Amino acid sequence: MAGIERFVKRRQPAFGKLIYFSVAAVLFLLAAWNRFSLPQDPFAVYDTYLWPALMKLSGGTFAHTQGLNFLYPGVVYLILRICADFRAISVIQHILGLIAGGLFLASWSRLADFFQKPRLNRIAHEAIGLWGAAIYLVSSAPAMFEMNIRADSVCMFFEMLVFWLVVQFFYYRVISPDAAKVFIYGTAIAVNVFLLASLKPSFTLMALFVIAPVIWLIVNAQGHFLGKAAFFLIGVCIIITLTLTEHFLRRNDEAVKTFLPETLFAIHAEIIQEQMAADLKNGETAISSREWLRHACDDLEIEIQRSHTLYPKGVSANYLMVGTNSLLKRWRGELGDERFLRFLRYWYWHSVASRPLSFAGKIASQLGVFYSRECPAFSIHKKLPLARSYAASFSALSRPPTLQLLAKGPPGSAFLERTQKLRFIGVVIHQNKQVQAWNIWCARSFLAILLVSLPLVGWFVLKRSNSEESKWPAFLVLLLYSTSFGNVLGISVVHSMVVNRYSTVLFLSALFAQFWAIRWLTEVSLGIFANQVVMGSRIT
């Protein structure tokens, strides 16, 4: 009997690994089935991401359009060039989604090494990681998100890739020092956060929050001059190359000049209209005639009221910007390009300077959309019908310019024909009740866990008596939470968090940060409990 017990004890780690990898394999098989059992034709609701690829495939040039970075349209072009089938876009994006789940588990497993003397055993730690990965892999929102032809679809993969690189960097910098690996992972972080910010500019603040401590730790490393030089030289060369390529391609894209000023004006139209009315009342009309400005102010007020009627969530920027009869298009025709841009910039910055509290209130209200009692990043819907997305996709693809380009090749014609049929087949993504309950729990506990974690993190990081080993897990809680905060803050300043995809794209980063905070709080609680037990035994 004793021999059997010794045998089981020796084989326990192997049994644990077998169970772990078996559960992980089942999760990935289920996630793959959920993704690849769906129609693989992607959604082209915004055909602007397709335009550069379609023009190039039709014998034209790869043109920069609508102010979009060239990276994602370039990848779409390469996929269509190699595979000649639009379904390959969804397939590749689904594969990247599955890889993101693998990076989740790899990052989580490495994070266990940041606890020098963990109170929670390794099996429990890995079980928590499997739980978090399961929520991501089996949820319906990421699977549907990966079917869109837009840069958002690959952002979750890049978010998780950055997290994995960051965890590896800090591991080899502070837990198991290895200078060569530190510089390799540091360089990879610099390149990938730049790629993520290029794909989706709203990730710019996240990129800065991530790269700042990396640069700090590399610069302050003792010696290793060649490694430091390689980090900056390789990172800067790659970033400059991508930047110059983007600059070259965008030189003839007029939307590069107008998109941001129009967006800032349209999103803050209500505040700007109030400032216009106040200036007209006070007789201050700096860059426009009083008569024209009065008409513009009245027209803007009317369009804001119409937008409120059409869009209950608030003023729609697209309503004011897009369409031949939109207000901003009319103003552009009346003023001309240069005067129009000067008008937009003046009124935005003049309103910021005159009504800072109104802008601060707008930012706070948008932050409140994400940091609410039910965080919108998580997938709480039981059903997600695809017919509506395919109908919108078919409508976008049926526009005359896009339709002409699609008709020039069999892949485009077949894609359009399949999209037309998919509008009516009634395919629905059904989310498992248990997975839906997990998502609801994550959504409702996100803010509470954040508010509990951050004060404790500050205490652990700033208190001098705490050891360096205990500070790093706490610092990682702060760093992981800061990534989603940087994104939300950027959107809140420039745009509106009411747009659902701005929250959905943060599903994975919010989930990973929340689960790491739970893991860290568990470790802290067990440590406090153990100390109380020791103190109690001494007293008795």
Please state the φ and ψ torsions of residue 385, each to the nearest 5 degrees: -70, 140
The residue type at 35: R
Res 312: pLDDT:
67
Res 489: pLDDT:
94
Per-residue pLDDT of 139-169, as tens digits, reads 988 999 999 999 899 999 999 999 999 999 9
Kindly tell me the burial class for residue 154, based on how many C-beta atoms sit within 10 Å of its own C-beta (0-12, 13-18, 19 or more): buried
Are 87 and 148 a contacting pair, CB within 8 Å? no
Name residues of the chain where pLDDT drops below 50.
1-5, 7-9
Number of residues that this document lists for the chain: 540
Instruction: Report the C-alpha gap between 493 and 244 in whole angstroms.
Output: 27
Alpha-carbon distances, residue 243 vs 49, 108, 139, 238, 246 (angstroms): 19, 33, 36, 9, 5
Instruction: Report the C-alpha gap between 119 and 126 in whole angstroms.
Output: 14
Please state the φ and ψ torsions of residue 371, each to the nearest 5 degrees: -90, 65
Res 5: pLDDT:
47
Res 244: pLDDT:
87
Predicted TM-score of the model (pTM): 0.91
Res 136: pLDDT:
95
